Amino acid sequence: MLAFLLLLLTSLKGGDAQRVIGRSKDGSCHCEVNSTMWSFPVLKYEGVLLQVKTCEGSLSSLQEQVLLSTTRLPQIQAQVENVTARLQPFQYLRHQGLYTALSLRLLGQELSQLEIDLSAVHTQLNNTQTQKLSTEVGKLRKDVEKMQISDTINLKTVKENFRYLKNSVESCKTIPKDFKGQHRYCMKGLITNISEPVTTKISPYGKNYISGSWGRQAQMDTEGEKDSYWVQTLLSSHIYGNTFRVYQTYEDFMASVNHKDYTLAPSYTHADAVEGPSGVLYGEALYYHCFGSTDVCRYDLKTNSVKRATIPGTGVGIKNKFPYCYYDCRSHSDVDVEADETGLWVIYTTLGNHGNLVVSRLVWDGEAQVLNVTQIWETRLFKKAVSNAFMVCGVMYATRYVNDYREEVFYAFDTATGKEDNSLALPLEKVAKGVASLSYNPVNRQIYMYNDGYLLAYQAYF
């Protein structure tokens, strides 16, 4: 006996019910069911899956943009603000004619890199913030371009012309009319060659004292100390000194015998003490940079008295503000006293000349017992790009480091004409790396170097 069963099945599609009649057979129920109502929606599933992946990609891109906005844009904003702040002084200096072309060129290069970075970000985001930054950078670019274009007509050019005219006036009133006739070798022009060291000796204080100055007495028409040699070594921190030593002959100097020591000041920090490797023995007096001041001191060997003269200029560099550098800076070499055929000189730097070398004449009035600083020449040579300097025939020569065993004279400034020459390449051989001082002696036309505790002398040829 067959039993009929009525099954009520519900499909997934739309929740519709399907009535199926089955029959009982052999203890089980047999029925036919239309399964097409429950087929899996593959296409729809794949479509939904694609949409999910697309959403995930869009979400990742959006997250990257948000991350970029929160990290890179503040950095770019900070760069823009930094460049803007740095440009502000140039805006002022532009009207004063003081900024340097090198500084402006470096600023332009940084601005170009900033434009590249901002362009990459703007391509990805292109929102209000990036548009604002682009506008600000564009304005900065125009400002820099205006400053570069106007450089030929702004006050910088006027200032340079003024410097040249000022130097020319100083030249006219400085050199004696018969100067060239007195020293005919000066008429030949600049130094053409420098010999290998003709004297090499360790400082009498030992080679551990690496700073100081030395040489032969440099005044040509004096009887006092005529053939004497002297050494002034900075015994305190290689910066300060208060004594110097004199030998009456070259033979005594080489043998380190028969010397006389002079005390310039009671201590290393006294106002009359020596600061920096700057001295020169001229006649019967030692000229040097006075401790902690903008003064040049004159110590009289006969009377043991000190006279002073203040170096002129706006913001004279002292206390290691503008030392000789190039490769290594020589501590507290801000003021350099020199001598040549025309007399005494002082080489230094001022803020008013933007850290470039300044040359002034030193004149001792024996009747009035007064030391004066007279004419002033301003060069365009940055002092920290120079390892040392000296004077010959009214011409300032500057040196630079080549390697541990060689310096090179590369620059000359003629006070007689106000002209400069930066094409020189005259070698100076060394024993050690550092050069504390260089000085020229017009009596024998030799150049003296204090070379990290070694004393070297060279012959100059014209």
Q: pLDDT tens-digit profile of 290-299?
A: 999 999 999 9
Q: How far apart are CA 421 and CA 298, in angstroms?
A: 32
Mean pLDDT of the region 363-379: 90
Find, among 236, 229, 190, 188, the residue nearest to 211 by Cα. Answer: 236
What region does 408 belong to: left with phi over 0, alpha with psi -120 to 50, or beta? beta
Is residue 255 scored above 90 in pLDDT? yes
Q: Can you read off the two tokens belonging to residue 59?
A: 């979400």
Q: Are 454 and 200 spatial neighbours (Cβ–Cβ below 8 Å)?
A: yes
Taking the alpha carbons of 185, 189, 191, 192 in that order, is the dihedral positive or negative?
A: negative
Q: How far apart are CA 11 and CA 19, in angstroms?
A: 11
**Per-residue confidence band for 132, with pLDDT thresholds at 50, 70 and 90:** confident
Count the Cβ atoms, other than its own, within 10 Å of residue 331: 18
Mean pLDDT of the region 184-198: 87
Is residue 91 scored above 70 in pLDDT? no
Q: Greater confidence, 388 or 108? A: 388
Query: Helix, strand, or coil here: 285?
Result: strand
Mean pLDDT of the region 264-276: 96
Mean pLDDT of the region 216-237: 87
User: How many CA atoms, within 13 angstroms, populate the side-chain half-sphere of residue 289?
Assistant: 30
Q: Are 324 and 359 spatial neighbours (Cβ–Cβ below 8 Å)?
A: no
Q: Greater confidence, 254 or 78? A: 254
Q: Can you read off the two tokens belonging to residue 215?
A: 């040489």
Please report, rounded to a whole number, the percentage of residues in the chain having pLDDT higher than 90.
51
Find, among 454, 455, 457, the residue nearest to 444 by Cα. Answer: 457
Q: How far apart are CA 156 and CA 401, in angstroms?
A: 30
Query: Would you state the CATH architecture of domain 184-461?
Result: 7 Propeller (2.130)
**Per-residue confidence band for 311, with pLDDT thresholds at 50, 70 and 90:** very high
Count the Cβ atoms, other than its own, within 10 Å of residue 220: 17
| Most confident region among 14-28, 50-64, 109-123, 210-224 by mean pLDDT | 210-224
Q: Are 308 and 295 spatial neighbours (Cβ–Cβ below 8 Å)?
A: yes
Per-domain boundaries in the chain: 110-172, 184-461
Q: Can you read off the two tokens belonging to residue 33?
A: 């069911």
Q: How far apart are CA 276 and CA 261, in angstroms?
A: 19
- The answer to which of 72-81, 117-126, 244-253, 260-269 has the lowest mean pLDDT is 117-126
Phi, psi for 13 (deg, rounded to 5)? -80, 110
Phi, psi for 52 (deg, rounded to 5)? -65, -45
C-alpha torsion angle, residues 123, 127, 130, 135 (rounded to 10): 110
Distances (CA, A) of 204 to 196, 212, 213: 22, 12, 12
| pLDDT score, position 217 | 95
Distances (CA, A) of 202 to 140, 454, 456: 58, 5, 9
**Per-residue confidence band for 408, with pLDDT thresholds at 50, 70 and 90:** very high
Q: Are 348 and 336 spatial neighbours (Cβ–Cβ below 8 Å)?
A: yes
| pLDDT score, position 44 | 77
| pLDDT score, position 152 | 47
Cβ-based neighbours of 293, under 8 Å, separated by 6 or more? 271, 308, 310, 318
- The answer to which of 56-70, 304-318, 347-361 has the lowest mean pLDDT is 56-70
Is residue 23 scored above 70 in pLDDT? yes
Q: How far apart are CA 460 and CA 445, in angstroms?
A: 6
Find, among 90, 74, 81, the residue nearest to 130 by Cα. Answer: 74
| pLDDT score, position 445 | 94
Q: Are 379 and 399 spatial neighbours (Cβ–Cβ below 8 Å)?
A: no
Is residue 325 scored above 50 in pLDDT? yes
Q: Greater confidence, 111 or 265? A: 265
**Residue 340, Cβ density class (10 Å: 0-12 exposed, 13-18 middle, ≥19 buried):** buried
| Most confident region among 159-173, 175-189, 362-376 by mean pLDDT | 362-376
Q: How far apart are CA 208 and CA 339, in angstroms?
A: 27
Mean pLDDT, the chain, rounded, equals 82
